[in-house]
Structure 1
Amino acid sequence: MRLTVLGACGAWPEPGQACSGYLVEHDGFRLLLDLGYATLPRLLERIGPEQVDAVFVTHGHPDHCADLNPLLRARHLRADKPPPLPVYALPGALDPVLALDRPGMLDDAYVLHEFTAGDRLRIGPYEARTRLLPHWVPNAGVRLTAGGRVLAYTGDTGPSPEVVELARDADLLVAEASHVDEVPQDSVRDLTSARHAGRQAAEAGVGMLLLTHFWPGTDRTAAQVAAGDAYAGEVAAAVPGLVVDLG
């Protein structure tokens, strides 16, 4: 299993950056985890839009799903249209982004699979287990298993023991870490610090921690140091183009 970071900014993309988006590949199957602002150009530097096999969206905030619209346009507005794209999301999460075009324009470009957080899914070669994590809107963390390897991704979440259960013994935890040490008081239930992500990674016993969803202006090096104070394993900061092979 291989993960490629398309973007790792939270809220809006910094210059030259993109918001949350990750390409996960195994046995030739290409799955997108989230597709936020400015991720599609990053994706198209690597593969064509017709080569995406499925999309999983954790929640409906636009920094996680806005570029689904141009991806569907890039697949639909071409002479050799690929088959409809399977898209997995919580009920209603994608209603706004799917309504950006005139009614019916993109209906043939995708098949929407709505699920309930807690469901188990089969997405190509991946066994996907989902878990509801705390955020301003419903957010589904996901645990992907394929080829004996496990990748856990939180989407956006506040501190929760559910994160530890999602990531238990995973080879890689991709964890939201909007802030380094202190999360603003109005967000403490809905976002996580890098320091707390490190504590959760240690408790879960993961093989590697990848910090992501950085608030614009966040010092990535400081975030790695903060996470490493509690977690003794490898800590990396997500940047566009970073590739992690899980064996």
Structure 2
Amino acid sequence: MTRNSVSYSLFFTGTGSGGNLSVGSSAAVLEADDKPILLIDCGPGTLNAFAERYQGELPAAIFITHCHLDHIADLEILTVRARLRNLAPIPIFVPVGLIQLLHERLASYPGQMAEGDHDFWQSFQLRPVSDSFRSGDETFRIHPTRHHGPGSSFALQLPGRFFYTGDTRPVPELLHHVSIDSETIFHDCGTISNPSHTGLEDLEREYREDIRQRLVLYHYADATAAGQMRDAGYKVASPGERHII
């Protein structure tokens, strides 16, 4: 099977900024021919939304954009569910600079499960990532973005298919020079900017028109914010929505 014969899509289990249950925590699933092949982030509620979409399955592989709890908290639940099902370790692709922080936030508690003294990492196969990684039939690239401190958050790119920014301020140096014209750009955006996130007013100032036409916005506060961004002429992702890429 050639790459061009595969139908790819990105399904959003949640599209929110972590504060409103109605839009969930931002996370997405890359699908190949409707089958989930890579979960991007795993915040609160992600696993239940994933199970509802895929008939109780657990993720086959995971990529982590950054280590804020609204993007990783459900990994602790996942290690329990994987252990109870006696699953093989799940590959988890983590940018090298985030490994220590991920370990400190979720994996340093001793003896997480009484059954067999199972700990966090026994449920996962850690796959450190420098600038690219191979998963399934595809090679993905990662890029540092602008979120809090330097090197704290990373975008995920499947060249020619999609560019997923993760949490970020505008990154014209990436989208103008690294993103390929055929890629859908899934971009962090709220109605108001702050030092860690893109705001609606940033988009026109920072990006060319051809880039803005390829944007699909996510990581917003609530449905009202999503409506405001749509009124401004942008495509906006919704929880439970599938985007062909």
> What TM-score, normalized by structure 1, do the two folds share?
0.80
The residue that corresponds to 2:179 in the other structure is 167
The residue that corresponds to 1:239 in the other structure is 238
In 2, the alpha carbon distance for the partners of 1:61 and 1:49 equals 26
How far 1:45 moved relative to its partner? 0.1
In 2, the alpha carbon distance for the partners of 1:97 and 1:222 equals 36
Alignment of 1:211 onto 2:217: yes
In 2, the alpha carbon distance for the partners of 1:120 and 1:2 equals 20
- Give per-residue Cα distances to partners, 1:28-85, cap 9 Å, x unaligned: 451001111211111110225655221001000111111122122211112xx22210
- Give the counterpart of 2:167 among 156, 160, 167: 156
Conservation of the 8 A alpha-carbon contact between 2:23 and 2:222: no
The residue that corresponds to 1:231 in the other structure is none
In 1, the alpha carbon distance for the partners of 2:50 and 2:13 equals 6
Secondary structure (helix, strand or coil) at the match of 2:125 reads: strand
Conservation of the 8 A alpha-carbon contact between 1:120 and 1:130: yes
How far 1:223 moved relative to its partner? 1.3
The residue that corresponds to 2:62 in the other structure is 55
Q: CA, structure 1 residues 163+203, in 2 after alignment: closer, same or farther (shift >3 Å)?
A: farther
The residue that corresponds to 1:26 in the other structure is 32
How far 1:130 moved relative to its partner? 0.8
Pairs aligned (count): 225
In 1, the alpha carbon distance for the partners of 2:44 and 2:110 equals 17
In 1, the alpha carbon distance for the partners of 2:56 and 2:122 equals 15
Conservation of the 8 A alpha-carbon contact between 2:203 and 2:212: no
In 2, the alpha carbon distance for the partners of 1:236 and 1:100 equals 41
> What TM-score, normalized by structure 2, do the two folds share?
0.81
Q: Unmatched 5+ residue regions in structure 2?
A: 1-7, 113-117
Q: CA, structure 1 residues 30+161, in 2 after alignment: closer, same or farther (shift >3 Å)?
A: same
Q: CA, structure 1 residues 218+112, in 2 after alignment: closer, same or farther (shift >3 Å)?
A: farther
Secondary structure (helix, strand or coil) at the match of 1:241 reads: coil
Between structures 1 and 2, the one with greater helix share:
2
Conservation of the 8 A alpha-carbon contact between 2:29 and 2:40: yes
The residue that corresponds to 2:146 in the other structure is 134
Conservation of the 8 A alpha-carbon contact between 1:169 and 1:207: no
- Give the counterpart of 1:11 among 15, 18, 34: 18
